[in-house]
Structure 1
Amino acid sequence: MTDKCDVKDLDLAPKGRLRIEWAEQEMPVLRLIRQRFEKEKPLKGVRLSGCLHITTETANLALTLQAGGADVVLCASNPLSTQDDVAACLVAQYEIPVFAIKGEDNETYYRHISAALDHKPHLTMDDGADLVSTLHKERTELIGNVIGGTEETTTGVIRLRAMEKDGALRYPILAVNDADTKHFFDNRYGTGQSTIDGIVRATNVLLAGKTFVVGGYGWCSRGIAT
């Protein structure tokens, strides 16, 4: 691991670029935001550390933030979802430091979070609140630099609200998970489709003729059911 990255193999970068560009074709709203950011640079001078799923979608988000002037560093919020070719591409071809390896162990996972915090962020982006939790427990000297952050999962929001209730949360966090657009689109359609995809990949069975039982009927379950 260097201060610039810890990824599986930088030679995977060309493959990662093709996949990032392919995903970008299906993200027209983000593309419009990136075009505006390239002109306005609203995040110029802002250091941002993100603990997110290192996937093609996150890569396009990071590139949009970079286009807006942000100095971005990423680590993985879930080692099992990391796409090693995407991580390599962000480092080698877009000069975004990434600390993420698919299947990394627990020790490496938290070492990568610490590396992302070495960036001394002004903003944090979290998916599960591990970055914010580590910042508050082990890297408190950095909190004075932080303006605010975002959290996009139910689990993370629950953890952060518990911290707020205890008086432990020391900077404001935007609960992206509570946004209606998150429920309407990400949960219902994104998670709904990816759950079915995960079942198919794990079981390798044909869905035709099968009976599904969906427990609960929140936004994710609605997506699965429909």
Structure 2
Amino acid sequence: MVTSIYKDLALAPAGEQKIAWVKSHMPLLRALETRFIKEKPFAGKRIALSIHLEAKTAYLAQVLVSGGAKVSVTGSNPMSTKDDVVAALVKCGINTFAIHGASTEEYQQFVKETLACEPHIVIDDGGDLVHELHSVYPEYAHHVIGACEETTTGVLRAIAREKNNELNFPVISINGAQSKHLFDNRYGTGQSTFDGIMRTTNLVIAGKKVVVAGYGWCGKGCAMRAKGLGAEVIITEIDPIKGLEAKMDGFGVMTMEEAALVGDIFVTATGCCDVLTAVHFNLMKEGAIICNTGHFEDEINLKDLQTINVGTFEARENIDAYRLENGRTLYLLGRGALVNIACADGHPAEIMDMSFALQALGAEYLIKHTLDRKLYAVSDEIDREVARLKLQDMGISLETLSDKQYQYLNAFELK
């Protein structure tokens, strides 16, 4: 039986340094680690974990181990895997299967090896582990109690299975928690997306036209940060409510065909496919920069880009230049993978502290409760407790209702 697959164990010291840094900025997970060491809520349980494999994810894995779990880990996208962090996890005894830039075939092998532990709990980002347990490796699913899903894409996949009565175990939508999507999706994605763009291009954002596809929480975060950096922001949307909201928030709203003519930087954040296609590439100006911050590379139709391409070269590390038939050159960041982590370090540690605290508490909830085979929201109690603890760590106190105020608010009756 394979215990781990990794690039180079000699990279472990650099990975350990990264994990130590994020740990010092993740007080909620540190508090859970302290409690888990005492209570061992996951004693005797196996957890399969697939989240973008960098330092913050590694610390989550270590926290789960502190609670008594045997954890097997892979990354949810090969382009976001950090080889030094993988080496650090292997060195501390956690079964880890991931290599940066792995092929599709290698990635499938990593998923298989991760699931071969026959998990009791699945912690997923994008739904690949849950999908494989249903469709490819059902023999590894006999002991599954339930799963926790990190992101919009994975939740949508779970919803589809539930509608078709094909969901074989309960799934908790971590993404649905207010302490997750209001902060991780908005502030995390917004900051880390432009961190990735600026690190990779070394170009100014101010004065440029930034086109953000999608005005969900991730798109809102990207638009907010682009505006703050001095960009002129254009939103593309399919939802009239979100389109109207974007307009009222002060952004330009237009179709992608209209935006393609004027945009300098394009950021896809929809969770859908074919957001950018040959139709749009052929309209883009010379030197336009294209990147994706949605879960899958499908948002940018890379096959279309290759079809109309007459020559490709590496313009800079993590920037592929495509010369088109029309003579213009477009620049693709991070091969179309999530720019915030393929080209940077992902969301800030303080933000992921909340999301990963929800993941750990969600896993504990699955252990303590017997649930039906459907999608569940994070309990309001857990959601608010995570926010309360975060405020407490920031030294912030909230108002409390007096007895009179409580009675006042609860005195109204429907007539």
TM-score normalised by length of structure 2: 0.52
| Cα distance change, pair 137–40 in 1 and its aligned pair in 2 (3 A) | same
Q: Does residue 190 in structure 1 map to residue 188 in structure 2?
A: yes
1:164 shift after superposition: 1.3
- Comparing 146-155 with 216-225, greater Cα deviation is found at 216-225
Report Cα offsets for 1:124-167 as digits up to 9, x if no partner.
11111111111111221232211001111111111111111112
Aligned to 1:164: 162
Over aligned residues, Cα RMSD in angstroms? 1.4
Q: Does residue 88 in structure 1 map to residue 87 in structure 2?
A: yes
- In the alignment, the residues of structure 2 paired with residue 102 and residue 214 of structure 1 have an alpha-carbon distance, to the nearest angstrom, of 27
Structure with larger Rg:
2
- In the alignment, the residues of structure 2 paired with residue 207 and residue 47 of structure 1 have an alpha-carbon distance, to the nearest angstrom, of 45
Contact residue 117 and residue 140 of structure 2 kept, 8 A = no
1:43 shift after superposition: 0.8
What amino acid does structure 1 have at the position aligned with 2:172?
Answer: L
What amino acid does structure 1 have at the position aligned with 2:170?
Answer: P
1:76 shift after superposition: 1.2
Aligned to 1:201: 199
Aligned to 2:71: 72
1:1-150 correspondence to structure 2 within 5 Å: 3-92=2-91, 94-150=92-148
Report Cα offsets for 1:159-207 as digits up to 9, x if no partner.
1111111121100010111111111221111111111112213322023
What amino acid does structure 2 have at the position aligned with 1:127?
Answer: D
| Cα distance change, pair 216–115 in 1 and its aligned pair in 2 (3 A) | closer
What amino acid does structure 2 have at the position aligned with 1:200?
Answer: M
Q: Any unmatched runs of 5+ in structure 2?
A: 226-415
Aligned to 2:218: 220
- In the alignment, the residues of structure 2 paired with residue 143 and residue 79 of structure 1 have an alpha-carbon distance, to the nearest angstrom, of 24
- In the alignment, the residues of structure 2 paired with residue 53 and residue 113 of structure 1 have an alpha-carbon distance, to the nearest angstrom, of 13
1:212 shift after superposition: 3.7
What amino acid does structure 1 have at the position aligned with 2:109?
Answer: R
- In the alignment, the residues of structure 1 paired with residue 213 and residue 145 of structure 2 have an alpha-carbon distance, to the nearest angstrom, of 39
Aligned to 2:303: none
SS in 2 for 1:101: coil
SS in 2 for 1:114: helix
- In the alignment, the residues of structure 2 paired with residue 218 and residue 167 of structure 1 have an alpha-carbon distance, to the nearest angstrom, of 28
1:213 shift after superposition: 4.4
Aligned to 2:259: none
SS in 2 for 1:5: coil
Report Cα offsets for 1:204-225 as digits up to 9, x if no partner.
2023444444444322223221
| Cα distance change, pair 167–201 in 1 and its aligned pair in 2 (3 A) | same
1:176 maps to which of 174, 177, 192: 174
What amino acid does structure 1 have at the position aligned with 2:218?
Answer: C
- In the alignment, the residues of structure 2 paired with residue 9 and residue 223 of structure 1 have an alpha-carbon distance, to the nearest angstrom, of 36
What amino acid does structure 1 have at the position aligned with 2:10?
Answer: D
- In the alignment, the residues of structure 2 paired with residue 159 and residue 76 of structure 1 have an alpha-carbon distance, to the nearest angstrom, of 18
Report Cα offsets for 1:61-115 as digits up to 9, x if no partner.
01110111111000111000000000000001x1001000000000000011000
What amino acid does structure 1 have at the position aligned with 2:176?
Answer: D
- In the alignment, the residues of structure 2 paired with residue 26 and residue 185 of structure 1 have an alpha-carbon distance, to the nearest angstrom, of 16
What amino acid does structure 2 have at the position aligned with 1:119?
Answer: C
